[in-house]
Amino acid sequence: MDAAKDSARLEDKWALVPAFLRWKQNFIIFHTWNIAIAGVFLFNRVLLLLQVRGLVKQHIASYDYFVNTEIKKILHANNLITSDANPSFYLKYIDIRVGMPSSEEGFNEINDRISPHECRLRDMTYSAPVVVDIEYTRGNQRVLRNGLVIGKMPVMLRSSRCILKNMGEKELARVQECPYDPGGYFIVRGSEKVVLIQEQLSKNRIMIGRNGKKELYCEVLSSTQDRKSKTYVVSKRNRYYLRHNQLSDDVPVAIIFKVKFPMSFRLSNQGFSNATERMTPLMAFRQSYPFAALVHFFWRRSEPLTALPVSGCWWRVRAHGLLSITSA
């Protein structure tokens, strides 16, 4: 009797094998189909990305911003030149611009536009003149000169200063250029050169982190057209210090506040109806005293202020330089 039951159980198990194999086959087909669909979806997304941005879009956009905007900011930050020998003499740059690529024969500038293919064949640099408008004094007279060439700058292919910009396939074939060439590089003495992208810290933004000793710090890389600086607010033994690239030693934050903010500020939330109105005085204080933006991220317990609740608190900036929050 027991042998018959065991035989029946074994037959039942073997009867489940075809069903299991069919389920496994359907499972494999289903997942293979899903993987294929996902692969096609990702491939289409990659093609869409290449059509919208391309692989060199960031190169061309960065170059266009430099020649159209950034170079003017740099000039305006350093536009005046004076003389120690003659105080009445000065030279002032009024405007600067980058022209279109042109050929150069010796010291003679030819206004005929030159193509990148011609520069490759003749071992030339695909460049454009840099033109400025200046104002200076000659004796007691003020002299204006427009269109003065002060140098040449290499031109990135397919940028706003390149002759290949907005050309169709027929026009590119006429100048012997490949329509599938994305550009984004330079031609210097007949050789193609490319500028590699470098990863850098964001400028003029406050960064918060911890160093190797697990100490909380705050840093900001300040950058303008005429100077750069790096400022830290670090925590040492429950005290905060200012570290600057032009200072040899760390300076306590309290001393900086005593020098820059000799008066005491107290901002209360009494009489405000919501959190937005309570934050308005603090934002006004930060705009009036940008230096305090480096410090307001810290609390006496080394916690970011942004993590603390705003309601039911009042803000106080004491003359000794500490920013505290106390419950109302």
CA 184, CA 190: separation in Å to the nearest integer?
16
> 188 - beta bridge partners?
191
Where are the chain's structural domains? Answer: 57-193, 206-327
What does the chain come to in residues?
328
> 317 - beta bridge partners?
265, 323
User: How confident is the model over 274-321, as pLDDT tens digits?
Assistant: 445 444 544 554 444 444 444 444 433 333 333 333 333 333 333 333
How many alpha carbons lie under 13 Å from residue 240 in its C-beta half-sphere?
Answer: 27
Contact criterion met (CB below 8 Å) for 234 and 217: yes
> pTM value?
0.57
DSSP helix/strand/coil, 125: coil
User: How confident is the model over 6-43, as pLDDT tens digits?
Assistant: 554 545 555 555 655 566 556 565 556 556 666 666 66
User: How confident is the model over 77-105, as pLDDT tens digits?
Assistant: 888 888 888 888 889 999 999 999 987 66
Please state the rounded mean pLDDT for residues 62-76.
91
Contact criterion met (CB below 8 Å) for 252 and 239: yes
Q: Among residues 167, 215, 162, 202, which one has the least CA distance to residue 185?
A: 162
> Please, what's the largest Cα pairwise distance for the chain?
129
